[in-house]
Amino acid sequence: MLFDATVRTPLAPMHSEGRIASPMVSQQLAGHRVTVLDEDGDWFEARGTDGYDGWMHRGFLARAPEHPARQSRQPTRISLGCVAGTNAGGDRALPLRAILSPEETVRSGEAIEASRLASRFPLEHGAITRSAQHYFRGTSYLWGGVTPWGADCSGLVQSVFALHGVKLPRDAWQQAELGKDAGSDIDSLDEADLLFFSDRADGKVTHVGISLGDRRMVHLALGRGGYAVERLDDYRDTYVARLRDSFLFGRTVL
């Protein structure tokens, strides 16, 4: 480890290599900390709190103080999608789960104190599926994205469960290794179970969705352009038919 840093912009991309033309593999959010593991010019190899590594440009990060001053009396506040600003500077839009700075006030939208997250987002199956549908409705598909501004399938799952206090890894294949077996019958999964799919010959997991129960699933899919709620018993839909053919198994992570 070289040092810890804090994300200073609303969103910060993580790349597969230390160059801007390399693919974005994930994102970090304002106020979240990363650990810098390596340095190559203006690029840092960084690790998020979920253990996921990627390369980030120094412009997105501020070095965290080695000996932080006495903590602000202002409680930590989490964006639920808001515009925040300070009297000294301009306003900025903050995505879901970004952390406001102590100096910022909410201009529009909503932010919540971190201490209230558990009561606002209880660890209940129905509450988790409602959050997925409420906060990500209309989201476009974006490889490596983790917010309603653009996300991929595992980014949706990770972000929604994080709201409810469940820490999941970043990629679908990693998420598939958690929890307990929920079976391989796609028609019998319970609400908030995770469904895993593969379009590869070797069967490696490539897609994940959240069961809504009653043969329905919410997910972010490239084939749908983003957010979709599927009726998994709609055999007339060719996309659903492909989903069923590529289904591997379900996992219960609660």
Q: Which residues of 129-168 are buried (b: 16+ CB within 10 A; e: fewer)?
A: bebbeebbeebebbebbbbbbbbbbbbbbbbbbbbbebeb
Sign of CA dihedral 226, 231, 233, 238: negative
CA atoms within 13 Å, Cβ hemisphere of 41:
6
Q: Which pLDDT score, from 0 to 100, does residue 86 have?
A: 92
Domain count, the chain: 3
Closest listed residue to residue 195, CA positions, set 175, 214, 171: 175
Residues 187, 131, single domain; the answer is: yes
pLDDT tens, N- to C-terminus, the chain (254 residues): 689 999 999 999 999 999 999 999 999 999 999 999 999 999 999 999 999 999 999 999 999 876 555 555 779 999 999 999 998 888 999 999 999 999 999 999 999 999 999 999 999 999 999 999 999 999 999 999 999 999 999 999 999 999 999 999 999 999 999 999 999 999 999 999 999 999 999 999 999 999 999 999 999 999 999 999 999 999 999 999 999 999 999 999 99
Contact 254, 193 (CB under 8 A): no
Q: Which pLDDT score, from 0 to 100, does residue 64 have?
A: 86
Q: Is residue 70 in some structural domain?
A: no
Report the 10 Å Cβ neighbour count for 236. 7
The whole model's pTM is what? 0.94
Residues 106, 130, single domain; the answer is: no
Residues 201, 244, single domain; the answer is: yes
Q: Which pLDDT score, from 0 to 100, does residue 88 have?
A: 84
Q: Is residue 211 in some structural domain?
A: yes
Furthest-apart CA atoms within the chain: distance in Å:
62
Q: Is residue 71 in some structural domain?
A: no
Residues 86, 13, single domain; the answer is: no
Q: Is residue 33 in some structural domain?
A: yes
Contact 36, 44 (CB under 8 A): yes
Q: Is residue 100 in some structural domain?
A: yes
Contact 142, 211 (CB under 8 A): no
Burial of 59 (0-12, 13-18, 19+ CB in 10 A): exposed
Residues 136, 100, single domain; the answer is: no
Q: Which pLDDT score, from 0 to 100, does residue 182 have?
A: 97
Q: Which pLDDT score, from 0 to 100, does residue 112 have?
A: 97
Q: Is residue 187 in some structural domain?
A: yes
Instruction: Phi first, then psi: give them for residue 156, nearest 5 degrees.
Output: -60, -50
Q: Which pLDDT score, from 0 to 100, does residue 72 have?
A: 57
Residues 179, 225, single domain; the answer is: yes
Structural domain harbouring 175: 125-252
Q: Is residue 56 in some structural domain?
A: yes
